[in-house]
A and B are shown apart, each in its own frame.
Chain A
């Protein structure tokens, strides 16, 4: 890969590393609060899978939710900040192709998501024994799902004209999708109607497949989940690349 691409990736990583408390510390703390409250309230009452404590069950969902939200946050906030302050020209003037631009923002978002996810995992180890039966499934779902949200972040960051637009995407798309996806429960515990709704939410498959990697059991077959998630990766990557190539809102 070219020096230009590597520099842009490095800059994007450096950007969130410089404010680590805010970009990694805060989301890990949020996850910790969920963990404390939900496991305290529900530990004695709920057992979703046989032999798996509720706290352990909760962990993969929390990790994935944090990973997704932060992958989205990284690319979207970096782009909107650069657009609003105007320093986006620093990366538009150099000879960097739209593909390199895409990959740099994608990888940086994944790295931020993985860093936060890892932080949540480390914190979780203090509260529950977490097994990882199928690390490859874990990795596959983390990568594919993180990529989807990284792309949504790039799209939203380029589309948004101000922070309000981005907050709308965050509040009306990202939050509902991640909360209504079985992070905190198995969808089998839901009424039939809401089970149906969950089944059309791609994030449900991301979390279920990810959880399968930990416990070797899930609500649906992980191969089905991957088959649902992969097309979204392709679709969003193509969409993002096309938007970047057209110069939409970047090169007028």
Chain B
């Protein structure tokens, strides 16, 4: 498996902030990868270094095997970046913007692909509109199209759905998913942990410039804790045999830990034997948000 993005000991100090503290990371070609972390964790700095917008103080970064400094032309050709800010150039129409962006990447005739991008992003009827006249969501779509004009194998999206309505969010993700199926490597940062959970195969969590968790999404979810079983019982009491499992009570409900789903049968049989009826049963699993919050509360270096 080829490596699409490789970071080694990546370090960045600004005047007052130590934004990245030795980040090592490999993202395989074709992966759908999420970079999570609270504000100020270093996500945007990391992406900026990949894109050549920021220079690392130490370590190295490669895109598709090209060093982002020494071999910046090939590295940048391999990378499409959707910036976090809703930026646009008020002087140009959508089509002009995309043609210019193609030219910057050395592509002279790119209209077929531009038309395809416009169609896929629902921008066809806005092609001749000035970007300054577009709504926020439309501007975001133009940014996505701009990042893709040169068909980069690696696509980085920095908070792509911030401030975007539900409909656009879904169509945007459908499009990104398709790009991923076509073999593009996707790396995204998002505040919507649900999105990362649904979309991404692997997740890195960043805190204070360090990777504090890096694993497949399902492993992180499993590690994030105990699955739980919430029961409403009639009568409302718990047999002694089950007391060690008790995590807490929420009113009428007993919350039990259930590390292995196979033990459900055992719990139910104990209840049956004690003559206790189950009026309601709820099975929950920690979501990425819980894992995230737990890790962010913990000290760095706890899970490397």
Q: Which of A82, A86, A90, A252 contacts B104 (CB 8 A)?
A: A90
Segment 1-15 of A: residues with Cβ below 8 Å from B: 2-4, 6-8, 10-11, 14-15
Q: Which residues of B contact A45 (CB under 8 A)?
A: none
**Contact (Cβ within 8 A) B104 A96:** yes
Using known A-B contacts A15-B91, A18-B91, determine if residue A6 contacts B51 with beta carbons closer than 8 Å: no
Q: Is the CB of A87 within 8 A of B89?
A: yes
B51 near A93 with CB under 8 A, answer yes
Cα distance A19–B103 in the bound complex, in angstroms: 22
Q: Would you give the 0/1 interface string for B30-55, flagging 1 where the beta carbon is closer than 8 Å to chain A? A: 00000000000000000010011111
Residues of B within 8 A of A19 (CB): 91
Pair B146/A90 contact, Cβ less than 8 Å: yes
Residues of A within 8 A of B100 (CB): 7, 10-11, 90
CB distance from A141 to the nearest CB of B (A): 31
Q: Which residues of B contact A82 (CB under 8 A)?
A: 89
The reply to whether B89 and A85 contact each other, CB–CB distance below 8 Å, is yes
Contact assessment for B106 and A4 in the assembled complex, using a CB-CB cutoff below 8 Å:
yes
The answer on a CB contact under 8 Å between A251 and B54 is: yes
Q: Which residue of A lies closest to B12 (CB)?
A: A252
Q: B81 near A: Cβ within 8 Å?
A: yes
**With a CB–CB cut-off of 8 A, which chain B residues contact A97?**
73
Q: Which residues of A contact B184 (CB under 8 A)?
A: none
For chain B, residues 144 to 189, give those with C-beta under 8 angstroms from any C-beta of chain A.
146
Q: Is there an interface contact between B103 and A95, defined as CB atoms closer than 8 Å?
A: no
Contacts of B69-127 to chain A: CB distance below 8 A? 72-74, 76-77, 79, 81, 83, 85, 87-92, 96-97, 100-108
* Contact indicator A252/B53 (Cβ below 8 Å): yes
Closest to A18 in B: B91
Q: Nearest A residue to B54 by beta-carbon distance?
A: A252
Which of chain B's residues have a CB closer than 8 A to the CB of A96?
Answer: 104
Q: Which residues of B contact A92 (CB under 8 A)?
A: 52-53
Does A89 count as interface, using CB distance less than 8 angstroms?
yes
The answer, among A2, A85, A252, for a CB contact under 8 Å with B55, is A252
CA of A247 to CA of B54 in the docked complex: distance in angstroms? 9
Tally B residues with Cβ within 8 Å of A: 34
Contact for A3 among B52, B72, B96, B106, CB less than 8 A: B106
In contact, B89 and A7 (Cβ under 8 angstroms) = no
A6 → chain B closest CB, angstroms: 7
**Chain A neighbourhood of B89, CB < 8 A:** 82, 85, 87, 90
0/1 per residue, B125-146, Cβ < 8 Å to A?
Answer: 0000000000000000000001
Contact between B101 and A95, CB atoms less than 8 A apart: no
Q: How far is the CA of A111 from the CA of B72 in the complex (A)?
A: 30
Residue A33 interfacial (CB < 8 Å): no
Closest Cβ of chain A to B20, distance in Å, is 13
Q: Say whether A93 contacts B53, CB under 8 Å.
A: yes
Asked if B53 and A7 make an inter-chain contact with CB atoms under 8 angstroms apart, the answer reads no
Q: How far is the CB of B114 from chain A (nearest CB, A)?
A: 14
Q: Shortest CB–CB separation between residue A245 and chain B, in angstroms?
A: 12
Which residues of chain B come closer than 8 Å to A247, judged between CB atoms? 55
Q: How far is the CA of A150 from the CA of B33 in the complex (A)?
A: 44
Partner of A95, one of B76, B85, B97: B76
Minimum CB–CB distance from B224 to chain A (whole Å) comes to: 35
The CA-CA distance from A85 to B53 in the complex, in Å, is 16
Across-interface contacts of B48 in A (CB, < 8 A): 252
Q: Are A95 and B87 in contact, CB atoms less than 8 angstroms apart?
A: no
B73: chain A residues within 8 A (beta carbon): 95, 97
Q: List 15 A-B contacts (CB under 8 A).
A: A2-B106, A7-B104, A11-B100, A15-B91, A18-B91, A85-B89, A90-B97, A93-B52, A93-B53, A93-B104, A94-B76, A95-B74, A247-B55, A251-B53, A252-B55
Q: Interface of B with A (CB < 8 Å)?
A: 14, 48, 51-55, 72-74, 76-77, 79, 81, 83, 85, 87-92, 96-97, 100-108, 146
Nearest 4 CB-CB pairs, A to B? A7-B103, A94-B104, A95-B73, A86-B87
